[in-house]
Amino acid sequence: MKAKTLLIWLTGIGTLTITSCTKSSDTEDTTEGNWILRSSFEGYGRSEAVSFSIGNKGYVVTGYDGNKRLKDLWQYDAEYNFWQQKAEFPGIARHAATGFAIDTKGYIGTGSDGYNKLRDFWEYDSGTDQWTQKADFGGSARFSAVGFSINGKGYISTGYDGNYLKDIWEFDPAAGANGSWTQRVSMSGEKRSGAVAFVHDNKAYVVTGVYSGGTVNDFNVFDPAKPEGQAWTQLRKISNVSDESYDDDYNIVRSKAVAFVMNNKAYVATGQSGSVYKDTWEYDFTTDTWKSKTAFEGVARLGACAFSLNNRGYILLGTTSSTSTQALEDVREFFPDQAYNENEDQ
């Protein structure tokens, strides 16, 4: 059950109001948006798994259950609200990998087996329920990177290989039997790991994450159709740094959050930055601004998964802290335009 957030927000911005007297702080009571509990994940609870969507099905593979790294693959049917186990991932069990989907196939690569950073790369065919190893990821072995796909090609960027990273590599599945990787010009923003990425209108947005100096507040968009050197653009910061009022209540910086897109808006939720979070933020692509929505109604968490299915957004799994062995199993769907109803998420 979740209480309304007015008093919490006022407490959180008390120091800001004193030190930034040029700004207003007309904080609203955030009860716009409603979370509904769905069928619990049927496999082991886990954090830092890979999730992707193909058609109207969501997929979750690999991850860490608090004791061991995993290789099982599960499919979620949103129409009938059930889970079904699929062919086991044949690579090394891992966590903090990344992936994406292209047409009817899902892809997964990088990550950590607990001792080694990885760069192998695999394709899952949802039509045949089979895995095939593809060309190794073109960059260095790493974990906590982001992955996304645009116009039939996949991309992996950022992560940690012993150094925080911001390079980006493009995967073409049609180039030869095993596909091929090509390096594109790196992101113009800060190096990072534990970021999130989401795609809208054939552009990828990369935001949040952590680097050697702490959490990052820059926000970058990638357009692969533009010439090299012009593909990345920086958007407004995600912290309260401007002299305008739009960012007065921003508290978005974090790592190991999740993101999804629905109804032409993006959503970022959960994660950590000192504390572990359960708040939800809605991004408006037309105004380049963020709005607080009803917080995720499960416990605060990091390392969760998210996917969109037929314009419906879901958050699932994760863990309660970076040192916890508690792996979560709950699944919730978000309705951003509904009023919060505490009795529905039971």
Tens of pLDDT along 9-57? 233 333 332 233 333 333 345 679 999 999 999 999 999 999 999 999 9
Q: Any idea what DSSP says for residue 136?
A: P
Compute the average pLDDT of residues 205-223. 97
98's CB contacts (< 8 A; 6+ apart) are 50, 108, 109, 110, 111, 145, 146, 147, 156, 159
Could you please report the per-residue DSSP string of 65-90?
A: -SSSBB--EEEEETTTTEEEEEPPP-
> Which contacts qualify for 89-94: CB closer than 8 Å, 24 or more apart?
89/61, 89/62, 89/122, 89/124, 89/131, 90/122, 90/131, 90/133, 91/120, 91/122, 91/131, 91/133, 92/118, 92/120, 93/62, 93/68, 93/69, 94/62, 94/69, 94/118
- Please, is 168 exposed, middle or buried when counting C-beta atoms within 10 Å of its C-beta (0-12, 13-18, 19+)? buried
What is the pLDDT confidence band of residue 195, given thresholds at 50, 70 and 90?
A: very high
pLDDT at 185: 97
Q: Report the pLDDT value the prediction gives residue 139, as an integer from 0 to 100.
A: 98
pLDDT at 29: 53
Per-residue pLDDT band for 82 (boundaries 50, 70, 90) equals very high
The CA-based angle 6-240-247, given to 5 degrees, is 65
pLDDT in tens, 324-343: 888 999 999 999 998 888 77
The pLDDT of residue 340:
86
- The CATH code of domain 6-339 reads 2.120.10.80
Most distant CA atoms of the chain, gap in Å: 61
The answer to whether 262 and 252 have CB atoms below 8 angstroms apart is no
Q: Which pLDDT tens digit goes with each residue over 56-80? A: 999 999 999 999 999 999 999 999 9
Q: What percent of the chain has pLDDT over 70?
A: 91
Q: Look at the block and give the residue holding tokens 């795609």.
A: 199
Using one digit for the tens of pLDDT, what is the confidence trace for 222-235? Answer: 999 999 999 999 99
Contact, 269 vs 281, CB < 8 A?
A: yes
pLDDT digit string, tens, across residues 84-109: 999 999 999 999 999 999 999 999 99
**pTM of this prediction?**
0.90
Judged against a pLDDT cut of 80, whether residue 2 lies above it is answered with no
Q: For residue 341, what pLDDT is reported?
A: 83
**Residue % of the chain over a pLDDT of 90:** 86
Q: How many residues does the chain have?
A: 346
More confident residue, 262 or 323: 262
- List, for residues 157-178, the tens digit of each pLDDT value: 999 999 999 999 999 999 999 9
